[in-house]
């Protein structure tokens, strides 16, 4: 799973710790910093600044993550300037995402009941409008809403959040659980413990009487601590390796799989699943049984089979279907209409008339021409220029080329077995419609994905958010292989 998706998920799960009035007093100007830690090691910092004006509230937020892959600096910066109305509803925002010299900007403004979004990046510039009725609040400023509602034990609330990085609306709930004394800066401080739940992920934070978040825990082994600017921005001389960071997604099993690429059939149990229908089914993945273990905890028994070598029937290229036309569209990370993408797609498929044969040609080219390294990219065009990347880079480039060639293609997210890490890692791969949906994997060079590919979600944005249900929670037990 690509680094940018991890960072975006952390942004969603992290409440930036600015100051505000305590127990529902008016919001005031503030300028606050916090350090971000993974397993006790600092990997970045957060900054939040609030400026209260006569008719609006301006909030500046910045998240910085410093990681390294070999000699490559994988530093990632997300900067956002948000303007709110006095009732904390959104006026507009500018989000800039930067990684390894690549940039993507999202500019949003509310017009009536619509949110107008301008998304721009390398080889992509597009405007879209989404429904935006009242009662939706930006995720980066939601702590101000919680403050406004009042801080007292037993208080519960629910908000519809607009997730700026994913450009989606999702519900979030919170509850103020209890009072608790913690040690902060060498002193005992009385705090309130607040729990937030969002898309299957739970975060816990400790706030003082002034509404300042002193500590927050999110995902597995991630922690945010309120610090001075000097301390928060002080980074180690030895950045954490991306491979160490990626292992947070590792799901270990008791017995290693010697040859996962040869696995034709696998029966397994997924435990600590968020909901009874969390695991999707398709032509090669069947849910055999789902058992409830407790509140929001289920165990699902799955049977997964290798993709057969050929589709049941052949369809011509371009694929003659209107049913799946949405899977031919371009997107900010999949620039189907870019001349470089379209030209390469036509060169690769040439005079090929069979859609499945064309998909295999494209997959082979992506596998052969992209180095397999743990470096991130925003888009298919980035991957094409750099000729290297991880699974999402391979998948985005394949998807753009396949769609440009006339093959409906979707992005799939899930788990796949890694011999290197001796467990299952989060992974992305594409599926193509060639008379039927078929999964292949240009990162691993598989035209017929092996049975260790466990599908959990679909889509670049909705799919990444759905993975939050599983990260750091799900366990796998192999029953048959």
Which tens digits make up the pLDDT trace of 232-288? 999 987 887 777 766 667 899 998 999 999 999 999 999 999 889 999 999 999 999
Co-location of 35 and 151 in the same domain: yes
Co-location of 281 and 346 in the same domain: yes
% residues pLDDT > 70 (the chain): 93
Alpha carbon distance 215, 278 (integer Å): 31
Domain boundary among 211, 240, 269: 240
Confidence band (pLDDT; 50, 70, 90) for 5? low
Co-location of 120 and 49 in the same domain: yes
Max mean pLDDT among 142-151, 292-301, 409-418 falls in: 409-418
pLDDT at 8 over 60: no
Instruction: Report the pLDDT averaged over residues 387-406.
Output: 95
| Domain assignment of residue 246, yes or no | no
pLDDT of amino acid 245: 66
Co-location of 210 and 337 in the same domain: no
Instruction: Report the pLDDT averaged over residues 312-322.
Output: 91
Number of domains forming the structure of the chain: 2
| H or E stretch covering 319 | none
pLDDT at 294 over 60: yes
Confidence band (pLDDT; 50, 70, 90) for 220? low
pLDDT of amino acid 15: 44
pLDDT at 202 over 50: yes
pLDDT of amino acid 22: 36
| Domain assignment of residue 204, yes or no | yes
Domain boundary among 218, 240, 262: 240
Q: What is the pLDDT of residues 71-89, one digit of tens each?
A: 777 788 999 999 999 999 9
| Domain assignment of residue 383, yes or no | yes
Return the exposure string of 251-273: e unless at least 16 CB atoms fall within 10 Å of the residue's CB, then b: beeeeebeebbebeebbbbbbbb
Instruction: Report the pLDDT averaged over residues 401-408.
Output: 98
Dihedral, 34, 36, 40, 43 alpha carbons, nearest 10? -130
Q: What is the pLDDT of residues 329-363, one digit of tens each?
A: 998 889 999 999 999 999 999 989 999 999 999 99
The residue with greater pLDDT, 220 or 214, is 214
Domain boundary among 189, 207, 240: 240
Co-location of 354 and 462 in the same domain: yes
Instruction: Report the pLDDT averaged over residues 447-465.
Output: 92
| Domain assignment of residue 245, yes or no | no
Q: What is the pLDDT of residues 38-66, one digit of tens each?
A: 888 899 999 999 999 999 999 999 999 98
| Domain assignment of residue 471, yes or no | yes
Cα 278 to Cα 166, 272, 297, 346: the distances in Å are: 20, 11, 11, 38
Co-location of 225 and 267 in the same domain: no
pLDDT of amino acid 307: 95
Q: Where in the sequence is the domain holding 96, given as residue range(s)?
A: 3-240
Confidence band (pLDDT; 50, 70, 90) for 121? confident
C-alpha of 354 from chain center? 34
- How many alpha carbons lie under 13 Å from residue 96 in its C-beta half-sphere? 11
% residues pLDDT > 90 (the chain): 69
pLDDT at 23 over 50: no
Alpha carbon distance 452, 481 (integer Å): 10
Predicted TM-score (pTM) above 0.85: yes
| Domain assignment of residue 211, yes or no | yes
Round the average pLDDT of the chain to a whole number and report it.
89
Alpha carbon distance 90, 134 (integer Å): 9
Co-location of 113 and 184 in the same domain: yes
β 187-198/168-184 pair status:
antiparallel
pLDDT at 310 over 60: yes
Max mean pLDDT among 37-46, 279-288, 290-299, 367-376 falls in: 279-288
pLDDT at 422 over 50: yes
């Amino acid at each position: 799973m690509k680094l940018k998706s991890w960072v975006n998920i952390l942004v969603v799960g992290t409440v930036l710790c600015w100051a505000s009035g305590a127990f529902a007093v008016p919001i005031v100007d503030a300028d606050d910093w916090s350090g971000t830690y993974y397993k006790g090691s600092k990997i970045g910092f957060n900054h939040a600044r609030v400026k209260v004006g006569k008719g609006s509230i301006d909030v500046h937020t910045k998240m910085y993550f410093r990681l390294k892959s070999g000699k490559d600096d994988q530093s990632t910066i997300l900067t956002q300037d948000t303007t709110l109305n006095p009732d904390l509803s959104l006026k507009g925002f500018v989000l800039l995402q930067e990684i390894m010299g690549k940039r993507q900007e999202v500019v949003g403004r509310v017009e009536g009941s619509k949110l107008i979004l301008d998304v721009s990046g390398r080889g992509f510039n597009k405007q879209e409008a989404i429904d935006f009725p009242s009662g939706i609040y930006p995720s980066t400023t939601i702590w101000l809403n919680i403050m406004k509602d009042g801080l007292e034990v037993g208080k519960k609330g629910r908000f519809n959040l607009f997730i700026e990085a994913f450009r989606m609306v999702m519900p979030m709930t919170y509850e103020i659980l209890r009072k608790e004394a913690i040690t902060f800066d060498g002193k005992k401080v009385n705090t309130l413990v607040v729990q937030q739940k969002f898309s299957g992920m739970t975060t816990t934070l400790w706030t003082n009487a002034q509404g300042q978040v002193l500590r927050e825990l999110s995902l597995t082994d991630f922690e945010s601590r309120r610090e001075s600017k000097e301390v928060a921005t002080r980074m180690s001389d030895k950045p954490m390796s991306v491979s160490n960071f990626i292992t947070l997604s590792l799901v270990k099993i008791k017995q290693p799989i010697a040859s996962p690429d040869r696995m034709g059939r696998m029966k397994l149990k997924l435990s600590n699943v968020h909901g009874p229908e969390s695991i999707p089914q398709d032509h090669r993945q069947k849910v055999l049984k789902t058992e409830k273990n407790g509140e929001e905890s289920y165990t699902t028994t799955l049977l997964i089979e290798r993709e057969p070598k050929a589709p049941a029937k052949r369809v011509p290229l371009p694929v003659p279907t209107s049913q799946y036309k949405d899977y031919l569209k371009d997107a900010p990370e999949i620039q189907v209409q870019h001349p470089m993408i379209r030209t390469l797609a036509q060169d690769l498929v040439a005079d090929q008339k069979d859609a499945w044969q064309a998909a295999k040609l494209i997959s082979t080219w992506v596998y052969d021409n992209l180095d397999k390294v743990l470096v991130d990219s925003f888009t298919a065009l980035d991957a094409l220029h750099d000729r290297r990347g991880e699974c999402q880079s391979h998948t985005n480039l394949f998807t753009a080329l396949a769609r440009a060639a006339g093959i409906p293609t979707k992005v799939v997210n899930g788990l796949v077995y890694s011999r290197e890490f001796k467990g299952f890692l989060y992974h992305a791969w594409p599926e193509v419609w060639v008379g039927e949906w078929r999964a292949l994997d240009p990162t691993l060079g598989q035209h017929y994905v092996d049975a260790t590919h466990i599908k959990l979600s679909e889509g670049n944005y909705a799919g990444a958010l759905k993975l939050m249900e599983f990260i750091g929670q799900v366990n796998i037990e192999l029953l048959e292989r």
